[in-house]
Amino acid sequence: MDLGGLSFLELAKRTARASWRDAVFGQGSRMAFYHFLAIFPALLLLLVLAARLPGAGLELKDTILDLARQVLPRDASSLFQDTVNELNQRALSPLEIVPASFGALWGALNGMWALIFGLNTAYELQERRPLWKLSVTIVGLTLALAIAGTTAVFLIIFGAKIAGAFSEQMHLTSAQGVFGLRVLQWGIIVTVLLFSFALIYRFAPNLRNHKWRWSTPGALFALIWWIGSTLGVRFYFEHVTDYRRAYGHLNRVVMLLLWLYFSNGAILIGGEMNSEIEKAGAQCSDNGDSGLAGNEEDGERSGS
């Protein structure tokens, strides 16, 4: 892994300073708001689609709820479960599908636009792509991430069937079967997250000739930060305080929003790390062959 000639400690210091300067968690809160608005309409559309596939609707719902229980704090997971169960019981008419699709699309596209803005800030760039190209980038990345997430869920469903058949043939105990299923689930989740982060860092910033190799360190750090923040949020709300005294029944909504807040912060911090690596690499390179060395597409560095 090329860190642009920086040590891990120096890279961490530079990333922390840049993240504070660029207010990544302020931008992360903007992204969390849009993602909160998009997540449940998107799940509703996914459940409607799965209901048309023989036997897939119940398995899809159970898989989504199982993943929510593993990732979210207990109360936020219960909110997720109650909402998904309610959505799953609704039979939508074609006229009702339209506003649900619009709500999911509006929230997701605005969340992606906020992410692009945050990554441009991390790279100290101005957004100068033509409107049509920027629109294609936003829509393309949103659809790519939606497809990646949906594919991961269905892979987990089919993987669970294969794991169950394998457990029966090998006469594994119930505990061994559950452990194997968890390993399979998280293997798929980690792979999809790494791919998604690398895809975002490759195409979202206003850079041209941006190489995949620059995305690897930030993608790995974003994954580690996401896992760490997820565990931290779960521990805080389940063992320190659950915010019920301050928010009442809304504490479940607050937990979900905070989880989205830290998750989006992880993506932006990973972008800050990639930016610092590229800056250091440009300084060390004799020919300045880097995505930040005069290589911005249709624009210029905001600080130049």
Structure confidence at residue 186 (pLDDT): 87
Structure confidence at residue 213 (pLDDT): 56
Please determine, for residue 175, whether its predicted confidence score (pLDDT) is greater than 50. Answer: yes
Between CA 193 and CA 206 the distance in angstroms is 22
Work out the pLDDT band at 158, boundaries 50, 70, 90: confident
52-59 mean pLDDT: 69
To the nearest whole percent, how much of the chain has pLDDT over 70? 81
CA 289 to chain CA mean position, Å = 30
| Pairwise pLDDT comparison (61 vs 204), residue with the higher score | 204
Q: Is the dihedral of CA 143, 148, 153, 155 positive or negative?
A: positive
What residue spans define the domains of the chain?
Answer: 8-284
Please determine, for residue 58, whether its predicted confidence score (pLDDT) is greater than 50. Answer: yes
Work out the pLDDT band at 16, boundaries 50, 70, 90: very high
Structure confidence at residue 297 (pLDDT): 45
Please determine, for residue 154, whether its predicted confidence score (pLDDT) is greater than 60. Answer: yes
| Pairwise pLDDT comparison (162 vs 197), residue with the higher score | 197
How many other CB atoms sit within 10 Å of the CB of residue 117?
15
Nearest one of 212, 223, 210, 234 to 270, comparing CA atoms = 223
Q: What is the 3-state secondary structure (H, E, C) of 14-41?
A: HHHHHHHHCCHHHHHHHHHHHHHHHHHH
Structure confidence at residue 136 (pLDDT): 95
Report pLDDT digits (tens) over 108-118.
999 999 999 99
Report pLDDT digits (tens) over 185-240.
888 888 899 889 888 988 889 887 666 655 678 888 889 988 988 888 888 888 88
How many residues are there in the chain?
304
Please determine, for residue 301, whether its predicted confidence score (pLDDT) is greater than 60. Answer: no
273-284 mean pLDDT: 82
Torsion angle in degrees (nearest 10) through CA of 231, 237, 240, 243: 160
Q: What is the mean pLDDT of the chain?
A: 81
Work out the pLDDT band at 304, boundaries 50, 70, 90: very low
Report pLDDT digits (tens) over 120-134.
998 888 888 999 999
